[in-house]
Structure 1
Amino acid sequence: MPDLPSLSPSDLAGFARRFAADPQLRRMQNAIANVGVDQVALDHEVAVGTGLTMSHRIDDWKATDQKKTGRCWLFAALNLMRPGAAARLGLKEFEFSQNHAMYWDKLERANYFLESIIATAGLPIDDRLVAFLLGMPVNDGGQWNMAVNVFTKHGVVPKSVMPETQSSSDTAKMNRRLRVTLRHGAKRLRELPADRRRAAKLEILADVHTILTIHLGTPPATFTWEWTDRDKEFRSDGELTPQEFMARYVDLDLSAYVCLVDDPRPEHPRNATLTVEHLGNVVEGDPVRYLNVDIGTAKRLAMETIVDGEPVWFGCDTAPQSNSELGIWDARLYDYESVYGVRTDLDKEARVRYHDSLMTHAMLFTGVHVVDGAPRRWRVENSWGTQKGDGGFYTMNDSWFDEYVFEVVVRKDRLDPGLLTALDAEPLVLPAWDPMGALA
């Protein structure tokens, strides 16, 4: 690029003089040469000042572990249904099979991807949408509506019925083979005449089915369900399908929930619905649909839900200002500006607009500390095992909720009349690459 200015020797010398003249920067260099930057930037007062007690706490169960996978959204959704199922089964501890849910999500998502390839077959291969679709044919992440679609169509089973495998706990190699297979299939579909594509799609999906079944096992069409409850009483329900098990032991009507998002960009109006093109998994299922509300509304409805005794599925950008060893999130947990002497004061809108923040993780709120009618901190069931935080449960100060929480799922009957009316309006359709299409 000969017409553009390059970094000159005088520029580089000026940078070096500036650094050498600042004793604070040299102190930071000495410190970070010996310990990690997070240890230097951690605000000790914030860390030790974060209380763990909650005025309202629901959980009395153990946290789960998604291991080396991106299944947090499925774990959180299954964990939402877990307390009611455990109560109906008379069990203290119970888990649904996350492997079963992932198996069907990946097979359905492969079909969804191939249908998108067929729909865009007339576009050039370097079209932005086609390039976006081919960039990630399948991964582990997902959204609330996608979880509901999987459970509604394929049901759920206890973890003992379809337990974890090596690949369900570490999906990298399996996902690589699925992506190669789907990209190969995409090439084939784009090169075939239109009237032969659907038959070819089924052949490709048969290959995907083979890969999934080798890695994850065979999902049961039916299973015999027998267990011993917490009173040591043997119980048996005979032979059930996954759909029958769900109908019998899941006490939540998943269709009664709505996903509220905080999209801070003003061109996307508040109290209106949003969706994202080509975002989904089950072709005939419900599309991903958001109701865009201000963060105060999302927070109030989440608080009220927890106070009434029900956990809340939520999505966030989990990495900023978080310490997984301590199990703490706070908007001021780390003072990086003092370490580097560099200002990075983007607000939430700017972070979304400039690709610095988006939803990356889904978890479950299981408690809230309320003072004078307002939340002060939140208890979070993570799915990263029991070794960190409070046995796998973390504490989120309310300041962090404002900045990094993007979604909460609540019952529709908690919405004000105006928001209920907004649910029936046609959604604003965002492009496939919009940050609101990020997968947890």
Structure 2
Amino acid sequence: MQLCLKFKNGVDDLSNKGISSDLINRFKTEYSERKESKVLERTVTKNGILASSQDLRADIQSTPVFSIDLQTGDVSNQKQSGRCWMFAALNTMRHDMKDHFRVKGDFELSQNYTFFWDKFEKSNWFYENIIQTAALDTDDRKVAWLLNEPQGDGGQWDMLCALIEKYGIVPQSVYPETYSSSKSREFDTLLNEKLRKDAVTLRELVNAGTSEPEVQARKEKMLSEVYRMASYSFGEPPVEFDWEFRDDDKNYHREAGITPKEFFKKYVGWDLKEYVSLINAPTTDKPFDQTYSIEMLGNVVGGRQVKHLNLSMHDVKRAAINQLKAGKSVWFGSDVGQHSEPREKGILDLDIFAEDELFDIDIAMSKAERLDYKESLMTHAMVITGVDLVDDKPTKWKVENSWGDKIGQKGYMVMSDAWMDEYVYQVVVEKQYLTEAQREAQSGEPVQLKPWDPMGALAYKD
């Protein structure tokens, strides 16, 4: 790529913009004059940046004791897949089932079942978007966005709701994990190859003036092939099933001939329309107290729309606290890799590493700047299961992850309140925990954001 600099007189001049030997010599002198340079060089070259900048204050601040602490049972494990959004959402539902039906702590809802239908529905979603954009060049940004990742493992709360509303859910014992659900890369790679090939065909048909019924017929043949691929890889999902279990009191229960939708209605019983997404995106393009949707983001054609209500962080946290006080866990989306040590320590804390002090640099940015300048976005969904309140103000939060019990503190983490301010972007709560004004704002028609907006990133990252 050619670099071209324009000056006011219109003349291109790069002669003074390169790195000269004099400039390097100046930097070497500045480096040698810092008395700590060689000590820090030896430390960082041997131990790396994070270990050299680790601050024990975060350990002290992250004692896993909380004034509100929901007992939610064993943690789940998404393994080598990007299903965090799905695991987190189904975990909030099984937490409720555990309380109401006294199912054992290791009980799980089938993440593989919703995964199957998500792959199938996302394929149709992709096909329809390809048909709708067939008149655009392949280098058009929207078409390029579609082709970059025709489908992936990521998703949003509303996308899971769309699947459950259409297909219901089942226990994991009825539809267990398979190789491809736990290690999804092989399947994703092949399915995306097929979807791109199908995109060639669909675009050619549309641009050749083929009738809509003929295009849809060809699409249905493609979907039949996707169904076959998914059934081979994940198992064909049940239409109805029998379920047996013993509760915590060792009482035996049997449910015969129940459908997935009947199971959801009887054993979860949530009105999913009452659960809404709140975001905190303090950027100038997203005023607070307004709802937003993201163009091209979804999975079920004709199903539930992705919709976010943007609120201040204070309001987001207050809604989450209200739900926790009612004994209900909270689904949330964040940028888990920022200023955190989730795997060994299970700590999300702004003070855990002091890289800026180590290198004597300024890397401070506001939350809005990080979003606008691509430094941060939603990468992972988890569940808040507790909070420590001092004078009714949160100091730290308990987090249930879906990476198994060998990660963090037996699968749980401690998130500082300051970290939540900076790197949590979304929570899901019932409408009853919002104010009347917030409920009214949430009912409004959403502003549509561009497909690549960071508030849709969880559908593409994990």
TM-score (structure 1 length as normaliser): 0.97
The residue number in structure 2 matching 1:353 is 372
The residue number in structure 2 matching 1:121 is 134
Contact 1:81 1:251 in 2 (8 A): no
Deviations for 1:284-327, whole angstroms, at most 9, x for unmatched residues?
11110000100100001101110111100110111111112111
For 2:246 and 2:436, the matched residues in 1 are separated by: 45
Contact 2:96 2:328 in 1 (8 A): no
Aligned-pair distance for 1:25? 3.4
For 2:424 and 2:402, the matched residues in 1 are separated by: 17
Q: Which amino acid aligns with 1:246?
A: F
Further displaced range: 40-49 or 310-319: 40-49
Does residue 104 (structure 1) correspond to residue 117 (structure 2)? The answer is yes
For 1:420 and 1:160, the matched residues in 2 are separated by: 38
Aligned-pair distance for 1:44? 1.0
Aligned-pair distance for 1:213? 1.5
Further displaced range: 250-259 or 294-303: 250-259
Which secondary structure state, in structure 2, belongs to the residue aligned with residue 303 of structure 1? helix
For 1:173 and 1:335, the matched residues in 2 are separated by: 38
Aligned-pair distance for 1:386? 0.4
Q: What aligned pairs does 1:169-248 form with structure 2 within 5 A after superposition?
A: 169-193=182-206, 194-195=210-211, 196-248=214-266
Contact 1:43 1:332 in 2 (8 A): yes
Deviations for 1:374-398, whole angstroms, at most 9, x for unmatched residues?
1111000000110122211111110
Unaligned residue ranges in structure 2 (runs of 5+): 4-11
For 1:389 and 1:131, the matched residues in 2 are separated by: 38
Q: Which amino acid aligns with 2:223?
A: L
Give every structure 1 segment of 4 or more consecutive aligned residues whose post-TM-superposition deviation is greater than 6 Å: none
Does residue 415 (structure 1) correspond to residue 425 (structure 2)? The answer is no
Further displaced range: 102-111 or 22-31: 22-31
Q: What percentage of aligned pairs have identical amino acids?
A: 39
Aligned with 2:445 (options 416, 426, 435): 426
Contact 1:84 1:251 in 2 (8 A): no
- Relative to structure 1, the CA distance from residue 20 to residue 215 in structure 2 (aligned partners, 3 Å threshold; closer, same or farther) is farther
Unaligned residue ranges in structure 1 (runs of 5+): none
Q: Which amino acid aligns with 2:449?
A: L
For 1:24 and 1:276, the matched residues in 2 are separated by: 49
Aligned-pair distance for 1:231? 2.5
For 1:84 and 1:42, the matched residues in 2 are separated by: 38
* C-alpha RMSD of matched pairs (Å): 1.5
Further displaced range: 383-392 or 79-88: 79-88
Aligned-pair distance for 1:88? 4.2
For 2:381 and 2:37, the matched residues in 1 are separated by: 37
For 2:263 and 2:436, the matched residues in 1 are separated by: 35
Q: What aligned pairs does 1:286-297 form with structure 2 within 5 A after superposition?
A: 286-297=304-315
Aligned-pair distance for 1:359? 0.6
Contact 1:85 1:251 in 2 (8 A): no
Aligned with 1:84 (options 85, 90, 96): 96
The residue number in structure 2 matching 1:32 is 44
- Relative to structure 1, the CA distance from residue 21 to residue 306 in structure 2 (aligned partners, 3 Å threshold; closer, same or farther) is same
The residue number in structure 2 matching 1:254 is 272
Contact 1:19 1:26 in 2 (8 A): no
Contact 2:58 2:347 in 1 (8 A): no
- Relative to structure 1, the CA distance from residue 12 to residue 46 in structure 2 (aligned partners, 3 Å threshold; closer, same or farther) is same
Contact 1:84 1:249 in 2 (8 A): no
Which secondary structure state, in structure 2, belongs to the residue aligned with residue 188 of structure 1? helix
